Amino acid sequence: MSDIQIEEQEQVAQRRAKLQALREKGNAFPTGFRRTVIAAELYSAYEGSSKEALDDSPVRVKVAGRIMTRRIMGKASFCHIQDMSDKLQLYVARDNLDEGFYNEQFKSWDIGDIIGAEGVLFRTKTGELSVRVDSIQLLTKALRPLPEKFHGIADQEIKYRQRYLDLIMSEDSRKTFSIRSQVVSYIRQFLIERQFMEVETPMMQSIPGGATARPFITHHNALDMELFLRVAPELYLKRLVVGGFERVFEINRNFRNEGLSSRHNPEFTMLEFYQAYAEYQDLMDLTEEMLRGLAEMVTGQTVITYQGEDYDFGKPFDRMTVVESILHFNSALTNEELNHRLGASKIAETLGIPVKESYGLGKIQIEIFEKTVEHKLMNPTFITAYPVEVSPLARRNDDNPEVTDRFEFFVGGREIANGFTELNDAEDQAERFQKQVEEKEAGDDEAMHFDADYITALEHGLPPTAGQGIGIDRLVMLFADAPSIRDVLLFPLMRTKS
């Protein structure tokens, strides 16, 4: 270790010396302390208890947590500890402790240390519920100081790289991850109540399928076999529906080898669910019900505020087709020009969208949609009738074979969900895979592989089924009012520091 490092860590050195002194006295890391209660339980149980009531019938408690603040006033001190639920004030007076303990032990402890304390509840003269401590012990010495108490951590990089510090310091951040947990468990409960069965399907796949995206590639040594981290679980979940699990869902990680942004992390969490004997409209209804329920669960109402804008999940969601939505947001365009390839590609070019030779009408329409419509879909909206060309796993529409029985769901200008009636015609699916292979050979490395094993499964008969995927991270962003996907991922991917 260099001199520079030693000098840089002056406060750490002081704390190490204190730890060394603890080691010499005996067990520096005792584990036997048991608390009887957490802070939030105390606040709710004694919310209405007056100062006098608490003094008249004393309540003994044992609490534990991290020292967050400390105010030493000679022979007595106040400090706040923080546990999993809340902060709690302790009143520690010299004369309430064993002889010498206050001066020789307690005063040498630092902010950040983890302690256990025992005493009786009381109210201070400002009315704050606190513990008058008569026994206290250091459980874990913190060798490094916490960030500044008032401003907390301002540097986003530290929040992401040292999430534990962010969680210690930021109530908002703890809240965000609490919302994430609530969202996931709400969804799980919602689906289980409707007879869906939770399953886990492979994350390492020999043929990556279920989405058009570039996969991560890895290698299995014993089998000497190339494997891909999955970009979606879709094809495995549908195999399960073939197997007779008629309602299945999975909430798990997908991996896509693409760029990072405020809405993209290479690994992200996806809900996918499949319901036999249902069509995409059934899933739109289900989605509407689920999101409305989520909004109410998280915020207590159906209107949520995201980045200063209000979105109402209470009223019926808007529904439009892709083409209708393009015309709606581009009043100068006509249905006629948008519905043949030459007209559509002219529109695309005026919008600055490069149109490749291989693009069909559907692909061009989707490019126009993404450029001119997607970010404007603020209120909860279903967009339907996606072109077959960009929907290789979705069933063709009976009235218009150029589009599929598919929808995507948008709110706040962002895609949250994608669902469709599944393509259960094995021969049509084989043709669609073949098209994808051609696109891959033409240089589109996001195009799908031909999955012959999946075709075999379809040949055994997939009942009419509707399926859907919902990006959990983006959903949590919405309900936690988080501007970046990194704010809802405990450990977002960061470049390694040299």
Partner RNA sequence: GGGUCGUUAGCUCAGCUGGUAGAGCACCGCACUUUUAAUGCGAUGGUCGACGGUUCGAAUCCGUCACGACCCA
Under DSSP, the state recorded for 387 is B
- Under DSSP, is residue 131 helix (H, G, I), strand (E, B) or coil? strand
Residue 494 touches RNA, criterion: CB under 7 A: yes
Residue 198 touches RNA, criterion: CB under 7 A: no
For residue 343 the two structure tokens come to: 């007209």
| CA–CA separation, 436 and 447 (whole Å) | 5
Residue 126 touches RNA, criterion: CB under 7 A: yes
For residue 82 the two structure tokens come to: 């923080």
Residue 150 touches RNA, criterion: CB under 7 A: yes
Q: How far is the CB of 471 from RNA (least distance, A)?
A: 17
Residue 70 touches RNA, criterion: CB under 7 A: yes
Contact 482, 488 (CB under 8 A): yes
| CA–CA separation, 155 and 164 (whole Å) | 14
Residue 238 touches RNA, criterion: CB under 7 A: no
Residue 498 touches RNA, criterion: CB under 7 A: yes
Selected range binding RNA among 19-27, 40-48, 256-264, 473-481, rule: CB under 7 A: 256-264
- Distances in Å between the Cα of 251 and the Cα atoms of 3, 59, 198, 291 are 50, 44, 8, 16
Q: How far is the CB of 87 from RNA (least distance, A)?
A: 9
When binding is defined by CB under 7 A, the residue of 104, 157, 453, 459 that contacts RNA is: 157
| CA–CA separation, 417 and 271 (whole Å) | 9
Residue 460 touches RNA, criterion: CB under 7 A: no
Residue 357 touches RNA, criterion: CB under 7 A: no
* Binding positions for RNA, 101-120, rule CB under 7 A: 108, 110-111
Residue 89 touches RNA, criterion: CB under 7 A: yes
Under DSSP, the state recorded for 264 is B
Q: Which is nearer to RNA, 73 or 222 (CB)?
A: 73
Q: Which is nearer to RNA, 92 or 394 (CB)?
A: 92
For residue 211 the two structure tokens come to: 């989405």
Q: How far is the CB of 73 from RNA (least distance, A)?
A: 4
Q: Which is nearer to RNA, 121 or 235 (CB)?
A: 121
Residue 75 touches RNA, criterion: CB under 7 A: yes
Q: Which is nearer to RNA, 122 or 245 (CB)?
A: 122
Residue 91 touches RNA, criterion: CB under 7 A: yes
Residue 486 touches RNA, criterion: CB under 7 A: yes
Residue 78 touches RNA, criterion: CB under 7 A: yes
| CA–CA separation, 154 and 362 (whole Å) | 46
| CA–CA separation, 400 and 392 (whole Å) | 16
The residues with which 216 forms a beta bridge, in sequence order, are: none
Picking from 190, 172, 297, the residue whose alpha carbon sits closest to that of residue 249 is 190
The residues with which 159 forms a beta bridge, in sequence order, are: none
Q: Which is nearer to RNA, 12 or 204 (CB)?
A: 12
Question: Which residue, chain included where needed, has tokens 């949609």?
Answer: 369
Selected range binding RNA among 122-130, 180-188, 220-228, 472-480, rule: CB under 7 A: 122-130
Residue 5 touches RNA, criterion: CB under 7 A: no
Q: Which is nearer to RNA, 272 or 367 (CB)?
A: 367
* Number of residues located near RNA, criterion CB under 7 A: 56
Q: Which is nearer to RNA, 88 or 466 (CB)?
A: 88
Q: Which is nearer to RNA, 138 or 458 (CB)?
A: 138
When binding is defined by CB under 7 A, the residue of 33, 46, 62, 69 that contacts RNA is: 69
Among left, alpha and beta (phi > 0; psi -120 to 50; other), residue 419 is beta
Residue 130 touches RNA, criterion: CB under 7 A: yes
Residue 171 touches RNA, criterion: CB under 7 A: no
Distance of CA 392 to the CA centre of its chain: 28
For residue 382 the two structure tokens come to: 């279903």
For residue 57 the two structure tokens come to: 């019938």
Q: How far is the CB of 6 from RNA (least distance, A)?
A: 10
For residue 482 the two structure tokens come to: 């988080």
Distance of CA 230 to the CA centre of its chain: 18
Selected range binding RNA among 126-134, 430-438, 448-456, 473-481, rule: CB under 7 A: 126-134
Selected range binding RNA among 67-75, 336-344, 376-384, 385-393, rule: CB under 7 A: 67-75
| CA–CA separation, 183 and 288 (whole Å) | 15
| CA–CA separation, 450 and 452 (whole Å) | 6
When binding is defined by CB under 7 A, the residue of 155, 226, 349, 445 that contacts RNA is: 155
Residue 11 touches RNA, criterion: CB under 7 A: yes
**Burial letters for 371-395: b for 16+ Cβ neighbours within 10 Å, e otherwise?**
bbbbeebbebbbbbbbbbbbbbbbb
Selected range binding RNA among 25-33, 41-49, 90-98, 231-239, rule: CB under 7 A: 90-98
| CA–CA separation, 419 and 405 (whole Å) | 9
Picking from 212, 55, 175, 76, the residue whose alpha carbon sits closest to that of residue 134 is 76
Contact 448, 440 (CB under 8 A): yes
Interacting residues toward RNA by CB under 7 A: 4, 7-8, 10-11, 14, 69-76, 78, 80, 89, 91, 93-95, 108, 110-111, 122, 124-128, 130, 132, 145, 147-158, 160, 259, 261-262, 483-484, 486, 494-495, 497-498
